[in-house]
Structure 1
Amino acid sequence: MHLRDAAQELIELGPRGTLFRIGWEMKARTGLTKVAPGGSAEETDTANWGSRLQLEDPVALARVMAERIPAVNLHELRARADQATAGRILCFGRWSADLGESIDWHRSPVTGERWLPDAPWFRALADDRAGDVKYAWEPARFPQAYHLARAAAFFPERADRYSLALRRQIEGFQASSRPGFGIHWASGQEIGLRLLAWVFSLDVLLSRSSAGSGADRLVGSALLSGARHIEEHLDYARIAVYNNHLLSEALALFGIGAVLPEAPESVRWRGLGRRILDEQASRQFYDDGGYIQQSHNYHRVALQDYLWACVFARAMGDAPSKVWLSALERSLDFLVAHQNPVDGRLPNYGSNDGALPSVLSTCDFSDMRPTLQAISVLTRGERIYEPGPWDETTAWLLGIRSLDAPVRRPLRKSVSFASTGYHVLRGHDESSFAAFRCGTLRDRFSQIDMLHLDVWWRGHNVLVDPGSYQYNAAPRWHEHFMQTGAHNTVSVDGKDQMVHHRQFKVLYWTKAALLEFDDRGDSAVCAGEHYGYRRFPGACVHRRDVIFLKDDTWIVVDRVTGSGEHTVRLHWLGGDFESTPPGAENGMDLRTPAGLFTIRSFDADGSPLVGRVVRGDNVGPEGWLSRYYGEKIAVPSFAAERSGAVPLTMVSVLSGVPVDVSVKGTRWGVSVNRNTYEFDLSDPVAGDLLSPV
């Protein structure tokens, strides 16, 4: 660790954060950190408490939703539930962890190694020989509780079998994870999300089956222990983390206080949880709807927390806070603006740890429609999607009558979220669009991806964000997916725009400026620059202009200014498509179901910018995409370098239709779809002089 970086970390933490972190580390290392007392069912009246959540009757819900969910999806749900009874649990919405019928909750399903179950919670993660703890945490979030409970609703003849299996898994977990010890008590968020799954399954499945007898007392005891632990150590999430972890912990306190009103601490828990949820609705959700963690997936986690908070408020006969509904509604507009209307996905922006806390639909993990539909119905009383499997989440959380809300399809168009720094150039065909990242960072949660461009053509993500892959495995892989060079942007002298200082922390937050944003009907323009390289010799600035010729062609102009000689690297990462041998060395061709999509790059004088196409290089590494946690796939990647005195300029033409490029001095002409568009590189913003000829 460089002293300069350490000093920068203290500056960015601020006095309060620095003092808290020092105190926290000292208490943990000296053993002064407390283990909160556990709970027992005898402390509160648990009779029939499991029905207080007031969720929809599962039989009625299944009858309505069976008409909206394809039969193949229901059969897959049943298969997942059947597998879960044997300890084969679907994790991260993607792969099954085979834990066996007698589950060892402290063993990694990937490495086979164990974490120490008797280690105090604040030391439990110190021994990392078992590998990435998320592989053990994920099944302990109990996604199988949602699969089993929902499958029992659609296949009631299996309800007793599913109920018995789930009750035994909860019993086994409780027996092996005493309060305050082991990895499953090392994170308040993990505790809260696990308890949420148990509460849902108790209401929908366990309390309705004789095979679930006694589960209410078992879960009631776990709720008390979990809430006491979370409350005791809440300051870590509140001061050191202040992201979706804090929301999940506040939700746990609020929700447990709601369903266990007889508990001695229930009033305090409800009040504390609600105060935090109120204050964080304004703190974590920016004015334009963006989210503090600069991650669409973590944004969804936060939204699910607030949806559940509304459910718990209803269970108490109370109303959701206005600030919750405002944050949900702002987020709805923000995420819908970035959405691919074909499959419900969004750009794979920011960190993606595979989190989907409440699995309440048969849709793919990446499909945002279930959550966004529920938010729209809750906040606006209208659906934004036609009837489909994504309605199941709304039905569970808001009731089947909510499905009668009118449908008002969103009109997606070009929009700039300037406060957060996200900008969308949308075509006449809404399934063709580009998402541009340009804005000064306001908080430390980010990948190192300024001026990254995501391109979607006819519903296909042709130029992609690489994703995250893994957090706690080989450091070089975590570094690769975080760094500038893995994104669709420019790097200077092989350096990152920011410093990846710790596992989840970056330093020297990039400042950036949006220079232009304009939709002109048949074309749209966005331009911006960032200053992350100014701290290095030469004080370089990277400026990018994006010109969208609707609906098939994008022109990208990259300029690096400053002083001295530098090496500039331009990178484009393709989606999961076959890459055909390019017709030239200055790009790559992607064979998509909608046709051939080409990438070509040029110097300022129009000469080809020669580079290389790589797919799945382990050495670099280079040419990798991760849409699901723990899974990476080889995809085509084009990179080209240019060295010399700045300014240096590069032009890329990205197109799904044939394009002719002509250059006369600084004047460029691009002919596409029988029209020729001209722009001049001598102008500060290329799009200013864009004109059809």
Structure 2
Amino acid sequence: MMRVKIKTAIALGLLNLGRVLFYRLGVKLGFNSVKKITAKIEPGVFFNGRDSIRSPLIPNSQWLNQQCYFGWLIKASSEIPNWHQNVLTGVSVKAPMDPWWKISDFESELGDIKGVWEASRFDWVLGFSQQVALGDKSHLDTLNQWLNDWVIHNPPYFGVNWKCGQEAAIRVMHLAIAVIILDQTTKTSRTLLSFIKAHLARISPTISYAVAQNNNHGTSEAAALYIGGSWLLANGDKDGAKWFKQGQKWLKNRAICLIEDDGSFSQYSVTYHRVMLDTYSMVEVWRNSLSLKPLDEVVYTKLQLATHWLFNMTQFETGDAPNLGANDGARLLPLTGTDYRDFRPSVQLASVLFFKKSAYAQQGDWDFPLYWLNIVKPKLCIEESISLDMPKGGYAILRNQYAFVLLNYPKFRFRPSQCDALHLDFWLQGENILRDSGTYSYNAGQKYIDYYAGSQSHNTVQFDNHQQMPRLSRFLLGDWLKTRFKKDLRSYDSKVEFSVAYKDKFKCQHQRSIVLTNQSLVVADKVKGFNNKAILRWRLKPGDWLLKGQEFTEGNHIVSISSDVKMRIELVKGHESRYYYKENIIPVIEIEINQPGTITTEYVFKK
């Protein structure tokens, strides 16, 4: 195991490990300046009314007379939230006024800390500011009351809501979008400016730790420094210059480092990809609002690639996308009342900002962010999605006019979060037929981490009950897999084909070959090198699926299973989590063989 840890440490990057070590020692021993900062935010008027009423637009009403968390959890209350209570468990923080660095991320009694943080991300600020912009003065009072209450119960830098730099960054970004909606970017109240300044002072000393994670933390915190620093400057506070410059530096660095040349993002996750893309979209919206100098051209090139990646993953019919990778329930720019799993508003906004073209020519809810942010929708559109291989991130997309197939294969320059090598997602006319699992929670118990991140929660093969990669800690896997064989994606005669294989540290081998036509999807899984058994799982959409011989059907579609060796075939229950902390039961096909062989699955669909 020591060999695995050393190998993984090298893969993570010695510079990043040094950054983490220096941060932790700095906080523990007291030489990091973050432990020395002080600030005071006096309650007062955060927002004033808008001078002119916006023309009729549709706001996000998810926080209207209720509270909405993670895109699905509704609390029937219009009262000010308890900023220190976990909305997932109902448990409150024991010591809400402790310095943030004394508070654990994973206190077992409190439960998932994200349940505490969620209300303090300020999604409601956006919804309330939209209501104010439409002339509802009552929501101006509510907006100021809630913000003042937050300040009273969360003085800098005490309590759980100051613990994470990214959480502070998200508050800054949401408040920035609110002042754009209310036309107060250069006439911001002193109270709000002091609030922003206190947040930047918290974020800046620890951004090296965020950068070391090689994920959304670095992009979010860089964005907050860029936005907040220029915000202060625009309102006459020269202290903003250092933060603006720092944010500008890391926005460029993170885009170059974390976005691959095929548009893939470092976290191998659709929802985290949206977090990153929405972050840069907010930066660009803010930059335009203050007429700041454009970012470097290389940044825009990377963002075009990242936009195209999410465009390719998103199903136009529903706006949904594969539940690929970790899913923490984040939706950073909820300016529409669309579902959490509707990615079209983010795709449309990014496409217009970075391509100067629309992703979707049709009118729809996905256009609302453009209207709220005073952006004109272009008539030109980006090219339609096609079948393609994205070798930097390890994704192959096979597509025709009816169906969409995603196959992810191991190509890890950054740390993987799930054992999902050769997972296959299948969609038919916007409906997810063969599905991925999601995450459920980061702190609901080890059994949930093992299940949702394990091979058994993906449409792939599991060998001898072991995982594709060993778990070293809560967020770290070792022995990162590598692709051993790949046959180039081919499109011809109404067919699309792709084949790829890997071998794990136990010398177990899995080769998956795919053929997609206008009538069917055929998948051949060739396995060998295992000791006792190989289990292939197909995670089906919910429905009344029945096993008839070697075929499964729910009335409309048929899944046929065959093998060149003896097999066990069974329909069992599994779980999925398409929204954070929400779990559903789904039917799962299990096929087990006990010797090397090939399992062939054919999905015949009706158009």
* TM-score where L is the length of structure 2: 0.92
Per-residue deviation at 1:527?
A: 0.3
Per-residue CA deviation, residues 172-230 of structure 1 (Å, 9 max, x unaligned), is 1111112122211111110011122223334435969xxxxx98233211111110111
Per-residue CA deviation, residues 532-580 of structure 1 (Å, 9 max, x unaligned), is x2x22xx122111011122x31111111233x643111000012x3123
Per-residue deviation at 1:613?
A: 1.2
8 A Cα contact 1:163 1:206, kept in partner: no
Per-residue deviation at 1:20?
A: 3.5
Per-residue deviation at 1:17?
A: 3.2
Per-residue deviation at 1:379?
A: 2.4
Match of 1:125 in 2: 104
| 1:568 is aligned to 2:534 | yes
| 1:598 is aligned to 2:558 | yes
| 1:652 is aligned to 2:604 | no
Distance 2:127 2:308 in 1: 30
**Secondary structure of 2:532's partner?**
strand
**1:226 pairs with 193, 199, 216, which one?**
199
Per-residue deviation at 1:100?
A: 6.5
Q: Could you say which structure has the larger radius of gyration?
A: 1
Residue 122 of structure 1 aligns to which amino acid in structure 2?
A: W
**1:82 pairs with 64, 70, 94, which one?**
64
Structural mapping, 1:46-85, within 5 Å: 59-60=53-54, 62-63=55-56, 65=57, 77-78=60-61, 80-83=62-65
Structural mapping, 1:306-325, within 5 Å: 306-321=280-295, 322-325=297-300
**Secondary structure of 1:582's partner?**
strand
| 1:588 is aligned to 2:552 | yes
Cα 1:415–1:6 change in 2 (3 A) is closer
**1:375 pairs with 350, 355, 378, which one?**
350
Distance 1:81 1:20 in 2: 39
8 A Cα contact 1:202 1:216, kept in partner: no
Residue 598 of structure 2 aligns to which amino acid in structure 1?
A: T
| 1:527 is aligned to 2:499 | yes
Per-residue deviation at 1:98?
A: 5.6
| 1:18 is aligned to 2:30 | no
| 1:632 is aligned to 2:555 | no
Per-residue CA deviation, residues 269-309 of structure 1 (Å, 9 max, x unaligned), is 11110011111111111001111111111111111111111
Cα 1:446–1:265 change in 2 (3 A) is same
**2:451 pairs with 474, 477, 480, which one?**
480
| 1:35 is aligned to 2:38 | no
Per-residue deviation at 1:496?
A: 1.2
Per-residue CA deviation, residues 307-342 of structure 1 (Å, 9 max, x unaligned), is 111122223322331233212211222222222121
Residue 556 of structure 1 aligns to which amino acid in structure 2?
A: V
Residue 513 of structure 2 aligns to which amino acid in structure 1?
A: D
Distance 1:29 1:530 in 2: 42
Residue 215 of structure 2 aligns to which amino acid in structure 1?
A: N
8 A Cα contact 2:284 2:353, kept in partner: no
Residue 243 of structure 2 aligns to which amino acid in structure 1?
A: W
Cα 1:295–1:287 change in 2 (3 A) is same
Per-residue deviation at 1:395?
A: 2.2
Per-residue CA deviation, residues 664-690 of structure 1 (Å, 9 max, x unaligned), is xxxxxxxxx9xxxxxxxxxxxxxxxxx
Count of residue correspondences? 597
Distance 2:560 2:487 in 1: 25
Per-residue CA deviation, residues 119-156 of structure 1 (Å, 9 max, x unaligned), is 222221254421101111111101111121223344x2
Q: Which runs of 5+ in 2 are unaligned?
A: none
Per-residue deviation at 1:632?
A: 1.0
Cα 1:263–1:97 change in 2 (3 A) is farther
| 1:350 is aligned to 2:325 | yes
Cα 1:275–1:50 change in 2 (3 A) is farther
Per-residue CA deviation, residues 71-113 of structure 1 (Å, 9 max, x unaligned), is xxx6xx44x3432xxxx32111112246772532111123222
Match of 1:461 in 2: 432
**Secondary structure of 2:514's partner?**
strand
**Secondary structure of 2:210's partner?**
helix
Q: Which runs of 5+ in 1 are unaligned?
A: 67-73, 209-213, 616-622, 658-672, 674-693
Distance 1:226 1:95 in 2: 28
Cα 1:486–1:246 change in 2 (3 A) is same
Cα 1:427–1:58 change in 2 (3 A) is farther
Cα 1:48–1:477 change in 2 (3 A) is closer
8 A Cα contact 1:546 1:554, kept in partner: yes
8 A Cα contact 2:316 2:344, kept in partner: no
Per-residue deviation at 1:345?
A: 1.5
Residue 567 of structure 1 aligns to which amino acid in structure 2?
A: K
- Of residues 521-530 and 7-16 in structure 1, the stretch that sits farther from structure 2 once superposed is 7-16
Cα 1:436–1:104 change in 2 (3 A) is same
Distance 2:160 2:83 in 1: 9
Residue 655 of structure 1 aligns to which amino acid in structure 2?
A: V
- Of residues 97-106 and 281-290 in structure 1, the stretch that sits farther from structure 2 once superposed is 97-106
Structural mapping, 1:269-668, within 5 Å: 269-321=243-295, 322-385=297-360, 386-397=362-373, 399-400=374-375, 402-403=376-377, 405-408=378-381, 410-429=383-402, 432-512=403-483, 513-531=485-503, 533=504, 535-536=505-506, 539-550=507-518, 552-562=519-529, 565-575=531-541, 577-584=542-549, 586-591=550-555, 596-604=556-564, 609-615=567-573, 623-644=574-595, 646=596, 648-657=597-606
Cα 1:411–1:468 change in 2 (3 A) is same
Cα 1:164–1:318 change in 2 (3 A) is same
Distance 2:389 2:8 in 1: 31
8 A Cα contact 1:601 1:651, kept in partner: yes
Residue 245 of structure 1 aligns to which amino acid in structure 2?
A: H
* TM-score where L is the length of structure 1: 0.81
Cα 1:59–1:589 change in 2 (3 A) is farther
Per-residue deviation at 1:50?
A: 8.6
